[in-house]
Structure 1
Amino acid sequence: MLLLFIGDVVGKPGRRIVQQALPGLIAERGIDLVVCNAENAAAGSGYTPKIHAELMGAGVDAITLGDHVYKRREVLPLLESADNVVRPCNMPLEATGRRWAVVESRSGERVLVCCALGQLFMKNCDSPWRAIDSVLAEAPSDVRVRFVDFHAEATGEMQIAGRYYDGRVAALLGTHTHVPTADECVLPGGTAFQCDVGMTGPHDSILGRRIDRVLAATLTGMHHPFDVAEADVRINATLVTIDPASGLATAIERVVVDEQEAQRLAGGGGESSGPG
């Protein structure tokens, strides 16, 4: 089976290119399951029910979130009700939302999806190792394909996660830095790994935000709103080939879809609405 993981979707530009390109990409590549990190999808920070409907309509099957999971209060009812949206599993047990979900692929294979926050240079959270271990222990034993989004800042911590879970999950792929890394591989135990899948959004930017605003805030020490940028929009994603019998990966491939390729995949269309 083929699992596509889309890196951090940033604002309206990121949502728009997903809506435009994803249906054609699924059809062209024969993708069985799409997981998407969408914690920055609402104007660059947070997630909403309206945006959830947009991404589901485009062909996304499951959503992972991150440190901005509760940025927008309107997401709380969705986190309580949706069976395909997961918040970081190493937040307190009392936190609203699912720690893990099982979703069915287009090929009929059931897949466990979870995400966790790193601890280095991030907000305070529980041990990701203990939390992911707990998720894997709780998950139905007949669900062989297991996917982890490791939302972290430090590449060293991401590599620790990859090695620790090698052979126990089909893929452990990183998000959060918005910068794709060139270290994609299948580890010796059969786990597909990459430190960071990258960002789906405007790349003529600083991590998806307007360059002038970020520079002004950095150089003056004064507040400037970090508005979402607009130009050079791309999808950064990673495609993993998985053997459903073993639940392990056999191949991994970085996927980049720029605006020209998105137009080709869409046959020339694509719109979006909602927060920037």
Structure 2
Amino acid sequence: MRLLFLGDLLGRAGREAALKHIPELRAALKLDFVAVNAENASHGFGLGPDMAQALFAVGADAITLGNHAWDRREIIPYIAQEKRLLRPINYPPGTPGQGSALIPLPDGRKVLVVQAMGRLFMDPLDCPFRTTEELLSRHKLGVTTHAILLDIHAEASSEKMAFAHAFDGRVSSVTGTHTHIPTADHQVLPGGTAYATDLGMCGDYDSVIGMQKEGAIGRLIRKLPGDRLTPAEGPATLCGAFIETNDATGLATRIEPVRLGGRLAPAMPKL
């Protein structure tokens, strides 16, 4: 199976890059499945239902969120109905929406997508290890699903790496989101799980993690809240990872970075 996971869409630049390139990448890489983290898609904070619908329309199969899940309040009734839109699985019981989805493909295969959120330097939530372990006790590669993709939305690289090693050999991939900087550690772990600490963002890299430079710099220098941060709107780099799995086991055989457009050096897998 060939899968693509795109990192955080940041504002208009990130949205438009994803909407433009997802159909092209589905064809060029012969993709079976596309997942996108879109928690920053609406002016850098949250996701609107119309934006989710547009991403699904161009070929996204699943959308994950994160700590900005509820910044657009109108997403709350939408997420209760749209099972392909995921918030972190370790939110408290009773939180709207779901943290995982078993999504069927047209050929009958199924992909389980899971999002967990880290706790180091983040909001105090339920344990992502425990909640993910409980879910995986009910799903097994090659039995209930043909691939399992975990999005670990976290600040600390150590927590992301520990999370990946904890579930190595039981899932197809663990890829990090949230810090907006693509890491160079794409690898298949010893147990067969593809891993990257952070996929990076889909957005304008002539910025401070996607936000206009002046406001972000001013906040750090003066320690004053200042104006609301606004997304940079220059040419976007689309960032993510291409993952290929063994059809028999569901484990990864390769993971490679995808970078397209904008300021960063391009990277595209060869088939």
- TM-score bin, normalised by smaller chain: over 0.9
Partner of 1:234: 237
Shift of 1:106: 5.1
Unmatched runs of 5 consecutive residues or more in structure 2: 265-271
CA contact (8 A) 1:109 1:244 kept: no
Shift of 1:130: 0.3
Give the TM-score normalised by structure 1. Answer: 0.91
Q: Which of 234, 237, 247 is the matching residue for 1:244?
A: 247
**Matching residue's letter, 2:92:** P
Q: What CA distance in whole angstroms lies between the structure 1 residues aligned with 2:247 and 2:87?
A: 25
Q: What CA distance in whole angstroms lies between the structure 2 residues aligned with 1:107 and 1:179?
A: 35
Q: What CA distance in whole angstroms lies between the structure 2 residues aligned with 1:137 and 1:91?
A: 19
Partner of 2:86: 86
SS class of match (1:201): coil
**Matching residue's letter, 2:35:** V
SS class of match (1:202): coil
SS class of match (1:162): helix
Partner of 1:188: 190
Partner of 1:272: none
CA contact (8 A) 1:12 1:43 kept: yes
SS class of match (1:163): helix
CA contact (8 A) 2:237 2:263 kept: no
4+ residue runs over 4 A deviation: none
Partner of 1:114: 114
Shift of 1:232: 3.3
Give a deviation string over 1:174-193, Cα, whole Å, max 9, x none: 00000111000000100000
CA contact (8 A) 2:9 2:38 kept: yes
Q: What CA distance in whole angstroms lies between the structure 2 residues aligned with 1:113 and 1:208?
A: 26
SS class of match (2:237): strand
Partner of 2:151: 149
Alignment of 1:249-264 (within 5 A): 249-259=252-262
Q: What CA distance in whole angstroms lies between the structure 1 residues aligned with 2:155 and 2:144?
A: 33
CA contact (8 A) 1:8 1:38 kept: yes
Give a deviation string over 1:188-234, Cα, whole Å, max 9, x none: 10000010000001111001000011111221222122110012311
Structure number with the higher helix fraction is 1
2:11 maps to 1:11: yes
Q: What CA distance in whole angstroms lies between the structure 2 residues aligned with 1:202 and 1:98?
A: 30
**Matching residue's letter, 2:192:** G
The share of aligned pairs that are identical, in percent, is 37
CA contact (8 A) 2:182 2:199 kept: yes
CA contact (8 A) 1:7 1:200 kept: yes
SS class of match (1:129): helix
**Matching residue's letter, 2:238:** I
Shift of 1:46: 0.4
Shift of 1:119: 1.0
Q: What CA distance in whole angstroms lies between the structure 2 residues aligned with 1:259 and 1:129?
A: 36
2:134 maps to 1:138: no
Q: What CA distance in whole angstroms lies between the structure 2 residues aligned with 1:105 and 1:165?
A: 24
SS class of match (2:74): helix
CA contact (8 A) 2:13 2:235 kept: no
Alignment of 1:138-217 (within 5 A): 138-139=138-139, 141-217=143-219
* Larger RCO (CA under 8 A, 6+ residues apart): 1
SS class of match (1:113): strand
**Matching residue's letter, 2:257:** R
Unmatched runs of 5 consecutive residues or more in structure 1: 262-276
CA contact (8 A) 1:102 1:113 kept: yes
Partner of 1:221: 223
SS class of match (2:203): strand
Give a deviation string over 1:2-57, Cα, whole Å, max 9, x none: 11000000111101011111111111110110000011111101011100111112
Partner of 1:70: 70
CA contact (8 A) 2:206 2:263 kept: no
Shift of 1:138: 3.2
